[in-house]
Amino acid sequence: MRQIFFDTETTGLRAEAGDRIIEIGCLEMVNRQLTGNKLHLYLNPERPSDPDAIRIHGLTDEFLADKPKFAEIADELLDFLRDAELVIHNAAFDIGFMNAELKRLKRPPINDIVGGVRDTLLMARDLFPGKANSLDALCKRLEVDNSSRTLHGALLDAELLAEVYVRLTRGQDSLVIDESSGNESAAPGEIQVEAVDFSQFELAVITASDTEMLAHQAVLAELDKASGGKRIWQESAV
């Protein structure tokens, strides 16, 4: 599955009132592995940014004045996003802005271009009801380092979102929960976990390379030296 972690920065909060996109960050993941393929764009919004927005993202009108307009990068962006699943935190906001930009160009909405949209804010609200579920709050809860996030930035936020998403969905494919099994023996409130026949899986056996074995021997030698030969484990005879 090809996924794009997607984020925008804007001149303000209301696309319907004419606010525009000024930064786009996209990060590609295929089968839960980051590929290193990314797209990062600054845009001239053709209008001033709200002072409150500038305090959040730090992108001044002067900085954006010589950047391309959305119309100039639309094809490049849509080609990058085409058929992928977009993963967005608070997707309604970014999708609303994207569709407003595309409408100005008389293009179809973004939902007609991509394969789907997944909202991590809705996912987090299901997993952590009643708790703060901003990107910063999730980084703290899921132990994702966001110390470099002094200002909001589209690419940085997309990178943080990728880390958050992987941790939100960790184990999702291996734990099958069946809440409607009707098992009468279960105590009230207990979750029934479907039994899995692990014999059907063939586990790969990965052996150390010669280089790794030499490095391991060197570490053992250092441990022996540091402990005065009192290392309590020894290598098994082969």
Question: Three-class SS of residue 33?
Answer: strand
Taking the mean position of all CA atoms in its chain, how far away is CA 107?
Answer: 27
3-state per-residue secondary structure call for 69-132:
CHHHHHHHHHHHHCCCEEEECCHHHHHHHHHHHHHHCCCCCHHHCCCEEEEHHHHHHHHCCCCC
Asked if 124 contacts 105 with a C-beta cutoff of 8 angstroms, the reply is no
Q: CB-based burial of residue 208 (10 Å sphere; 0-12 exposed, 13-18 middle, 19+ buried)? A: exposed
Catalytic residue IDs? 152
Distances (CA, A) of 85 to 75, 109, 204, 220: 18, 15, 30, 47
Q: Count Cα neighbours of 66 within 13 Å in the Cβ-side half-sphere.
A: 1
Residues counted in the chain: 238
- Of 116, 121, 113, give the one whose Cα is nearest residue 86: 116
